Structure formats: C-alpha cells, structure tokens
C-alpha cells in the first residue's frame, strides 16, 4: 500500500472537552497521532462544518455522548512523526469545552476505549496520556468554575 502524501499545511481538527461531576471524558486513540494514548475525543473538521459542529459530531461518533454549548478555549499543535522522525502530518487541534447532556461513554469510530477519569487524579491513573491532556483538562475545569461563579 503506498504511503499517502504528506500535506503541505497543518490539518484543522477539533477536540471535545467534557467535564461532568469532577471527571473528564477521555478516549484511547486508535489512529495516529498518539495511537494507543489517552486524549480527548476529536478529529478533522469537515468542509463547511463549524468548529462547534465538528466538536459535537466527533464527540458523538467516538463516545456516544451528547453535549451542547461548545465554547472554544484554546488550540494546540499535534505532530505525527514517522519511524525515522520525519514529520508526516501536523494537526492544529482546536479545543471546545462542551456541556454534557446525555449518554455514557462507549468507544466508537476512532476510539479503542472511552471513559470518565477523575480530574483530581488524572496524573496518577497510570494511563499513557497525550501531550497536554492534563493541562487542557485543568484549563477547562477552571473555565467552568469561572462561568458558574
């Protein structure tokens, strides 16, 4: 199977950050970048789709969770490197804080597993987290507290 061409520019994607009852929703990724690592549900933004629409769609596809009111709050770089260290793809991940409305996590689409993780012990879970997951979760939790005050 031929290797797909390396895109000349970063790829726009979104991640959905959902916090409920002191827990954050994470998925174990099935595909690069970060295959096998735990991160937020998300994926590429489709043509004509808003950031909010993409976040909610990816959340539903990967976990079965329904949410509303996505609020964009940060952006991250994610690099997919080949075995020799060459850059295959560069993603710009736009994070959206989403309000949980229904459902319990069931892994689907690009996720191997999906579950709620306690925010207070995210560093002590022993899970292989993607870069910046704990920091983005903390930022989202702080944003939620500010909004509720």
Q: How far is CA 68 from CA 9, 18, 47, 60, in A?
A: 30, 10, 21, 11
Question: Pick the catalytic residue: 58, 61, 113, 135?
Answer: 113
- Residue 28 CA from chain centroid, whole number: 10
Q: CA 61, CA 86: separation in Å to the nearest integer?
A: 30
* Closest C-alpha to 115, from 129, 102, 128, 104: 104
Residue with tokens 């690099």: 79
Q: Which helix (H) or strand (E) holds 99?
A: strand 87-102
Asked if 135 is an active-site residue, the reply is: no
Active site residues: 113
């Amino acid at each position: 199977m031929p290797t797909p061409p390396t895109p000349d520019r970063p790829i726009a994607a979104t991640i959905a950050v959902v916090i409920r009852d002191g827990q954050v929703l994470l998925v174990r990724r099935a595909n690069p970048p970060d295959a096998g690592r735990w991160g937020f549900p998300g994926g590429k933004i489709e043509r004509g789709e808003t950031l909010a629409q993409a976040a909610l769609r990816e959340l539903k596809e990967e976990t079965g969770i329904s949410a509303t009111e996505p609020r964009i709050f940060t952006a991250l770089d994610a690099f997919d490197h080949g075995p020799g260290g060459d850059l295959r793809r560069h993603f710009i991940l736009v994070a959206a804080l989403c309000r949980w409305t229904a459902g319990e996590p069931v892994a689907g689409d690009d996720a191997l597993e999906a579950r709620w993780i306690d925010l207070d012990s995210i560093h002590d879970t022993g899970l292989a987290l993607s870069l910046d997951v704990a920091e983005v979760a903390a930022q989202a939790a702080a944003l939620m507290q500010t909004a509720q005050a």
